[in-house]
Structure 1
Amino acid sequence: METPAIALFAPIDLIAVDPARNVRRRYAICVMPDLFGAYIVETSWGRIGTRGQSKCLSFPDRAGAERHVAAILRRRGTAENRIGVPYRLARTVALDRAG
């Protein structure tokens, strides 16, 4: 899986589906600023159609948040070797920052 450019503040949704093996996984990454200038990276994962799990990490700067997101995407890129089916990009939301 090729790592897409990180669109800060736009969610990234990944899915891995293989009906023959009953694999239906989702993974979502969202980066958002907090009120104090830090960046929050929220990741959520689980079986499609379930509540799943989530985790939030705070980073003092944008570069740290981008490195963390890149590491997550690298790990998701190796899913085919681990679970037998690759993750694919389900959707991204393009945000218009012009106003």
Structure 2
Amino acid sequence: MDALPYDPVELVACDAARNLHRRWRVHAMRDLFGRIVIETRWGPTGAPGRVLTRSFAGEGEALRHVRALLRRRAGAVRRIGVAYRPIAGVSDMFFPTSH
């Protein structure tokens, strides 16, 4: 990933046999002071879930944070037993299908 996701990146992990339906989203935006804000939302599909917002002075720091978040999502198979997949329309540059 070479650029911040100013359009939201949304991923889902589903395993109907285990009744596992999770959703995860990351979105970058600028605040009124020019800082970059990274908002991450996650939780069960259809539920309010949780939100974490972090602010960064520069794009480099923010991009490193987003890359780390995406690496963690790529390891979901090891942690929860099912991979996260991008929702239709999300570019593979943000979350490659080959792990």
- What are the residue-to-residue correspondences of 1:6-85 with 2, within 5 Å? 6-85=3-82
User: Which aligned segments of 4 or more residues in structure 1 are displaced greater than 2 angstroms?
Assistant: 4-8, 91-94
Q: CA RMSD in A?
A: 1.7
Amino acid at match of 1:50: A
Question: Under a length normalisation based on structure 2, what TM-score does the superposition of the two structures give?
Answer: 0.85
How much does 1:8 deviate?
3.2
Distance in 1 between the 2:54 and 2:89 partners? 21
Compare relative contact order (CA 8 Å, sep 6+) and give the higher one, 1 or 2.
1
Letter in 2 for 1:89: P
Query: Identity percentage over the alignment?
Result: 43
Q: Judge conservation of contact 2:22–2:42 (CA < 8 Å) in 1.
A: yes
User: Aligned pair count?
Assistant: 91
Q: Following the alignment from structure 2 to structure 1, what is the Cα–Cα distance between the partners of residues 85 and 60?
A: 25
Gaps of 5+ in 2: 92-99
- Residue by residue over 1:39-72, the C-alpha shift from the partner in whole angstroms, topping out at 9 and shown as x without a partner, is 0000000000000000100000011111100000
